């Protein structure tokens, strides 16, 4: 008997997460200079990191020989001020991925289940399987969440429902009224993890106030990140806002120093940089138009996206992806999500989008 064979069956059957290919790796593989490679694969901020966040990170690195503030006092105070919540409602994560994992670790165990949609974020089955809990995957409706079917799928052993809004990898969006009606249907002992990783990219008419629902729905957890619109993907910071009892349990389960001192400092500064987030949303809006105009002229089908990426149907996506890689363009194939004809393209700077469009035109011959 090997050690590996003794790991629980639910661990051995986990399908690994497939990240976007790093620029350095493609450069090595194709013998291309890194500067010539365009990466539109991981929904990162094309503007980079905001100047305020960078300055705070640079200052914090000098003190990085010390352990971070495990209680994240300053960042929690900034979040509490910005969103009008209590610090006791907050859990800070090493990226919002960590928040999702901590929620799963806190509420899931063998003999329980989690509900999520087909074509939703790959971390939901990962986090569920890693606790030996059962996945209840609900068929999507037009590549998005079918909230009625999800409510109906909740079983007596269900402890968490995961909802990404906007959804990744499809970019679909459900409106506030539908979400609120869904929350009213969910049993009060089932945690609803509302994953708002892309909420800063919503158009004004799409916005809804999920934090206002927390008072009425103590089983709601809103998860957000500073990795996407705030430009801190490599530093890893996200947060949950929930009922204090839920946050308290999650804070007991998380690692005592789960977020680095540099990330905490950068996050606090980034939160105060509304101008950077506004510029990010603006360039995203224009880039989305640039991409979808190109898809229309190429006769390609795409899924209308509320996020900072667009998912487009290209036919043999594996072959098209390879042709793009040969031209130094990295996007994300999503066959692992059961969408083998589609590619997910992160929205970049205008010139990056143009490089992708030219490469796509070539790839499609
Ligand atoms: C990117 C993403 C996250 C997690 O991002 P972090 O970098 O860990 O903050 C969470 N949920 C969804 C739907 C995402 O697309």
- Determine how β-strand 191-195 pairs with β-strand 158-164: parallel
User: Per-residue pLDDT tens for 160-185?
Assistant: 999 999 999 999 999 999 999 999 99
Ligand 1 midpoint to CA 2 (Å): 35
Number of other CB atoms surrounding residue 158 within 10 Å: 22
Give the pLDDT band of residue 1 (cuts 50, 70, 90).
confident
CA distance 254 to 94: 10
Give the pLDDT band of residue 330 (cuts 50, 70, 90).
very high
User: Per-residue pLDDT tens for 190-241?
Assistant: 999 999 999 999 999 999 999 999 999 999 999 999 999 999 999 999 999 9
User: Per-residue pLDDT tens for 271-294?
Assistant: 999 999 999 999 999 999 999 999
Mutate-to-test residue for ligand 1 from 18, 91, 96, highest number of ligand atoms within 8 A of CB: 96
Ligand 1 atom at minimum distance from 195 CA: 11
Tell me: pLDDT of 344 over 90: yes
Q: Is the CB of 353 under 6 A from ligand 1?
A: no
CATH 2.40.30.10 correct for 4-48+275-364: no
> What value does the mean pLDDT of the chain take?
97
Ligand 1 midpoint to CA 170 (Å): 13
Ligand 1 midpoint to CA 172 (Å): 15
Tell me: pLDDT of 243 over 90: yes
pTM for the whole structure:
0.97
Tokens representing 279 are 């510029």
Domain boundaries, the chain: 4-48+275-364, 51-273
Show Cβ contacts of residue 77 under 8 Å, excluding neighbours closer than 6 positions.
87
CATH 3.40.50.720 correct for 51-273: no
Which pLDDT value is given to residue 18?
81
Which pLDDT value is given to residue 93?
98
Q: What is the DSSP track for 134-179?
A: EEEEEPPBTTB--HHHHHHH--TTEEEEEEESS-TTT-----HHHH
Ligand 1 midpoint to CA 222 (Å): 13
Give the pLDDT band of residue 20 (cuts 50, 70, 90).
confident
Angle at 85 between CA 285 and CA 185, to 5 degrees: 75
Q: pLDDT over 90 for what percent of the chain? A: 96
Which pLDDT value is given to residue 365?
87
Q: Is the CB of 168 under 6 A from ligand 1?
A: yes
User: Per-residue pLDDT tens for 113-155?
Assistant: 999 999 999 999 999 999 999 999 999 999 999 999 999 999 9
Ligand 1 midpoint to CA 262 (Å): 19
Which pLDDT value is given to residue 321?
97
Q: What is the number of alpha carbons within 13 Å of residue 202 lying toward its C-beta?
A: 19
Which pLDDT value is given to residue 130?
97
């Amino acid at each position: 008997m090997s050690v590996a064979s003794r790991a629980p069956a639910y661990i051995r059957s986990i399908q690994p997460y497939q990240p976007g290919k790093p620029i350095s790796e493609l450069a090595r593989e194709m013998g291309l200079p890194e500067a010539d490679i365009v990466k539109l694969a991981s929904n990162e901020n094309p503007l980079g990191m905001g100047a305020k966040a960078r300055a705070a990170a640079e200052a914090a690195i000098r003190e990085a020989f010390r352990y971070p503030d495990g209680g994240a006092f300053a960042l929690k105070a900034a979040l509490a001020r910005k969103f009008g919540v209590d610090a006791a409602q907050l859990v800070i994560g090493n990226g919002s991925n960590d928040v999702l994992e901590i929620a799963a670790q806190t509420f899931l165990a063998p003999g329980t289940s989690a509900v999520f949609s087909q074509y939703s974020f790959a971390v939901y089955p990962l986090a569920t399987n890693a606790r030996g809990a059962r996945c209840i995957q609900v068929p999507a409706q037009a590549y998005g969440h079918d909230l009625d079917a999800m409510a109906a799928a909740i079983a007596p052993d269900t402890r968490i429902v995961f909802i990404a809004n906007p959804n990744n990898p499809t970019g679909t969006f459900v409106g506030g009224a539908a979400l609120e009606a869904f929350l009213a249907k969910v049993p009060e002992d089932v945690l609803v993890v509302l994953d708002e990783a892309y909420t800063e990219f919503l158009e004004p008419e799409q916005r809804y106030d999920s934090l206002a629902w927390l008072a009425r729905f103590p089983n709601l957890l809103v998860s957000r990140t500073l990795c996407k619109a705030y430009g801190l993907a490599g530093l890893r910071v996200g947060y949950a806002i929930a009922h204090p009892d839920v946050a308290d349990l999650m804070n007991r389960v998380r690692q005592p120093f789960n977020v680095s001192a540099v990330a905490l400092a950068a996050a606090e500064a980034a939160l105060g940089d509304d101008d950077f987030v506004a510029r990010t949303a603006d360039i995203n809006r224009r880039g989305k138009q640039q991409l979808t105009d190109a898809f229309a002229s190429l006769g390609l089908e795409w899924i209308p996206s509320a996020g900072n990426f667009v998912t487009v149907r290209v036919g043999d996506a594996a072959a098209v992806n390879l042709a793009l890689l040969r031209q130094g363009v990295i996007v994300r194939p999503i066959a692992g999500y059961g969408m083998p004809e589609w590619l997910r393209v992160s929205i970049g700077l205008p010139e990056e989008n143009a490089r992708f469009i030219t490469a796509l035109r070539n790839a499609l011959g």
